[in-house]
Structure 1
Amino acid sequence: KAKVSAVTTEAKAEESTETVVEAESDVIATINGEEISRLEFDRRLNVFRRMNQDVTNVVKMQVVDQLTKKVLLKQFVDKKDISVSKEEVKAELEKITFFLQNNPSNKDKPLEEILETQGSSLSELEEEIGRALALSKYLETAVTDADKKSYFNANKDAFNGARVKASHVLIDTRNMKTDADKEEAKKMIDIVKIEIDKGADFAEMAKKYSNCPSAEKGGDIGFFQRKGSIVEDFAKVAFAMQVGEISDPVKTQFGYHIIKITEKEEGKEVSYKDVSDMVDFVYMQLKTEEILKDLHDKAEIEIML
């Protein structure tokens, strides 16, 4: 497990130790000795501020997590010494530039201005592209077709087009700092479930109690597929349910949910050949997350917010 120490008065990662300091440092974290600057951290936070979002402790820790992953990935590909040419980076940059500048909200804006609104810069984007291409090259050698076919056979329901439509009630725990607050949230979701079991209308309970923007629609979050569009803990439960069924409370990274399935669309029989590109994308994403988790678990991380 990662050795994480936190020097913070505002936010504290789980299982970390806390030391309070008075002065604000120019560095907000070190990852295996490599520094993350407060300047870079603030630029990322400004993206949320421009969208009029509250910069809560949860948001701050999400930004720290993003920057930590960036450093860990850089250290990984540097250690592997994987060669990526300037021509490869340039070709990928042209694709990204075309995509960004063809977004209606970015019409007539130069690339540098678009990137600035995203808390980035051209040089950072080029570095990010280089890291992504290096990782892709590594995975091409580390992952075999047999690995991907095995994953497909074990997860066919993720690739056959099956979808479910669901509504939910969410008691959001992301801004809760104490165990007592989280226990109250669990009690609240249990009370809501009891009321629904007694016959209370699900949509009305969602409107009354849910912290999700879907509350105003009675908790309706529409259709989604098994993989890639919704968090795994939620999707796993939802796809095991029948139409009209209401779940017991489900814990995810967002908080506690009660799920109701309102429609199901069955998938069709597909072969690996039919969906090999999608399997490749999903499996490579999965392996990337596994690599990052392993790197994080072994890293020396100090957070100094």
Structure 2
Amino acid sequence: MGVRRYSPYYGANVERKPVRFVYPRLENLIFVGLLAFGITACSSDENEEAPAAAPEVVSEVEEVNAEPADPETFPDIVAIVNGVEIPKTELLERIAGADAQKGGSPGPKTVAYYREILDQLVGAELLYQACRDRDMLVTSADVDRELDKLKSRFPQPDRFEQSLEAQGMTLEKLRTEMRRNLSIQKFIETDIASQVSVSTEDVRRFYDETQDQMRHPEQLRLSHILKSVDPEATTEERATALTAIEDVLLEASSGADFAALAREHSEDLGSAQNGGELTVTRGQTAPPFEQAAFALEPGGLSPVVETQFGYHIIKLLERIEGQLIPYEDVQAQIEQGLKQEAIQSRMQQAIASLKESGEVELFIE
């Protein structure tokens, strides 16, 4: 039986990057229709900036012990917004897009979940009607420019057409979706985002009050040796691998150069030629590996550690304590996050106002 090569960590050496702050997402609606129908493509340039993200549609409604809903029991029209009907098919298409975004298999969903997604559709319809009433709809030329950008992300022109056909989407329907979403984006930028500003004092206050988030995580610079074990290995094969790694541990404990041993014996192709050296943080390695590594003192050597990848020996080279990120390094990031949060809040207020002044009927109880 051939031995497959595994790695005990999820990636190569980890750069010391600032932590990622979590803010409520600004609902950028440009590509809602595209993602809802799965119209996506791989760019030929990996460094090319990706298109604007669709709004977050992952439900935050608590669904523990809630009964799943059967959409077959929903009426054909699930909402009416100022006389405009929202069909059940549109709701189900939006949810299918949400499932695709999450990359998971669709599971049972509660009425609360369907209502949450329906509220998003109602909000988008209200914003679109506001665009129309204020003569803020984008032009055909605007749609053409964005459509050309989308097409350029497909390696060949026929791939774009094949993607449309596979999703049951016509070019005309796609243009309609894009016009709606671009118009809503224009409304958000013109009537909402332009009115939002964040002061330096606000940014500094956020930094000072959330310094637990403003730290580089603790890191370990270590070296390790792996003897791979196939998941389907026999007991005899596992015993052979264990004996081999124990022999290497004996050499390392006797003072042999650990990096040289790693280059000679380690079966981790990602680090062996580098003397087995890695830089890791918590959460990046298999749990038994992490537990053993973080228990070591610099210069310390672990006993044999078993993970799903095989058997390891770990030597800790350096413990890099978590450090506070300088204010200047995150100032722009915090400002952008606070601005998005404020825009999100104002947009929800605008939608609430449009609901109050209009007529909205929902038919999912």
Tell me, yes or no, whether TM beats 0.5: no
**Higher gyration radius (CA):** 2
The structure with the largest strand share of the pair is 1
Give the shorter-chain TM-score range: 0.3 to 0.5
